[in-house]
């Protein structure tokens, strides 16, 4: 079946280092991908998105890379800060207008 | 302030007692959606709506109903709740200007426990 998944359920990173969170997807028809951040007790918050006609997009301290050949998506966070500690989800939009989410990666920033 | 609101935030109920979780957005968004979040499973879509009077099933619609009589509201109805519907529920909305299911804004969540 179709699924969106993250390679690792947890990631521990030293404050100030760069973080890379990976996501694999299986639906080649997906045309839009989103990264969300969810802090404890809150709803998911949009971080950055990328459409399938792009392979890279940069935001403030974040970069999303899309490799359609291997169906891989990654989120890079530069100079990780304590406030970046959260669960990160990737999501893909199918051509039937549904969003599918991965199980999430819990990022813990060490001081 | 642009936001999605849900009520109640917490609810404990018993098997078979009908309940409704309300969702409202003030951003004039066409697209609205309900998700449930369970440990290890991420967010799974229950139902979504592209506009008023237009709803469709997501990945896990069994046991749920929705309605979209007004653009701003999208209530989730559990006619006969069961313990396997104990979960954290999120409502979300988005404009369809960039395509349906574009950047979605999420509500704060409703934690439901069915005994």
Q: What is the pLDDT of residues B59-110, one digit of tens each?
A: 899 999 999 999 999 999 999 999 999 999 999 998 875 555 567 889 999 9
User: What's the CA gap between B10 and B22, in Å, rounded?
Assistant: 12
pLDDT-derived band at A1, boundaries 50, 70, 90: very low
Give me the residues of B, 19-78, that contact A with CB < 8 A. Answer: 31, 33, 35, 40-45, 48, 50, 56, 58-59
State the pLDDT at residue B95. 85
Q: With a cut of 70, say whether residue A93 has pLDDT above it.
A: yes
Interchain contact, A103 vs B42, CB within 8 Å: yes
Q: How far does B90 lie from chain A, in Å, by closest CA?
A: 7
Task: Determine the average pLDDT of the residues in A70-92.
Answer: 95
Task: Give the chain B residue nearest A101 (alpha carbons).
Answer: B43
User: What's the CA gap between B48 and B65, in Å, rounded?
Assistant: 11
State the pLDDT at residue A70. 92
Task: Determine the average pLDDT of the residues in A58-75.
Answer: 95
Is the Cβ of A34 closer than 8 Å to some Cβ of chain B? yes
Q: With a cut of 90, say whether residue B35 has pLDDT above it.
A: yes
State the pLDDT at residue A4. 56
Q: What is the DSSP string of chain A?
A: ---EEES-SEEEEETTS-EEEEEEE--TT--EEEEEEE-TTS--EEEEEEETT-SEEE-SSEEEEEETTTTEEEEEESS--GGG-EEEEEEEE-TTS-EEE---EEEEEE-
State the pLDDT at residue B42. 84
Q: With a cut of 80, say whether residue A94 has pLDDT above it.
A: no
**Burial state string for B53-64 with b = 16 or more CB within 10 A and e = fewer than 16:** eebeebbbbeeb
Q: With a cut of 70, say whether residue B34 has pLDDT above it.
A: yes
Distance of CA A101 to the CA centre of its chain: 10
State the pLDDT at residue A3. 44
Q: With a cut of 50, say whether residue A62 has pLDDT above it.
A: yes
Whole-number average pLDDT of chain A = 89
State the pLDDT at residue B40. 80
Q: What sign has the CA pseudo-torsion B27, A37, B100, B62? A: negative
pLDDT-derived band at A95, boundaries 50, 70, 90: low
Whole-number average pLDDT of chain B = 92
State the pLDDT at residue B104. 83
Task: Give the chain B residue nearest A43 (alpha carbons).
Answer: B108
State the pLDDT at residue B48. 93
State the pLDDT at residue B29. 92
Q: How far does A89 lie from chain B, in Å, by closest CA?
A: 8
Is the Cβ of A40 closer than 8 Å to some Cβ of chain B? no
State the pLDDT at residue A28. 87
């Amino acid at each position: 079946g179709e699924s969106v998944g993250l390679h690792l359920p947890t990631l521990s990173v030293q404050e100030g280092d760069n973080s890379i969170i990976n996501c694999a997807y299986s639906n080649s028809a997906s045309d839009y991908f989103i990264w969300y951040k969810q802090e404890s007790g809150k709803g998911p918050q949009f971080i950055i998105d990328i459409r399938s006609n792009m392979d890279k997009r940069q935001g403030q301290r974040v970069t999303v890379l899309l490799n359609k050949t291997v169906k891989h998506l990654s989120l890079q966070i530069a100079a990780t800060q304590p406030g970046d500690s959260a669960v990160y989800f990737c999501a893909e939009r199918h051509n039937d207008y549904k969003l599918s989410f991965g199980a999430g990666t819990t990022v813990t920033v060490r001081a | 302030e642009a936001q999605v609101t849900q009520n109640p935030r917490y609810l404990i109920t018993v098997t078979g007692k009908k309940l409704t979780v309300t969702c409202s957005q003030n951003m004039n968004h066409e697209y609205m959606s309900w998700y449930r979040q369970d440990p290890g499973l991420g967010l799974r879509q229950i139902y979504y709506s592209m506009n008023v009077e237009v709803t469709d099933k997501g990945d896990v619609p069994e046991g749920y109903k929705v309605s979209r009589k007004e653009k701003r509201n999208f209530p989730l109805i559990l006619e006969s709740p069961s313990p396997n519907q104990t979960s954290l529920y999120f409502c979300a909305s988005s404009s369809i200007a960039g395509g349906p299911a574009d950047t979605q804004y999420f509500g704060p969540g409703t934690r439901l426990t069915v005994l």
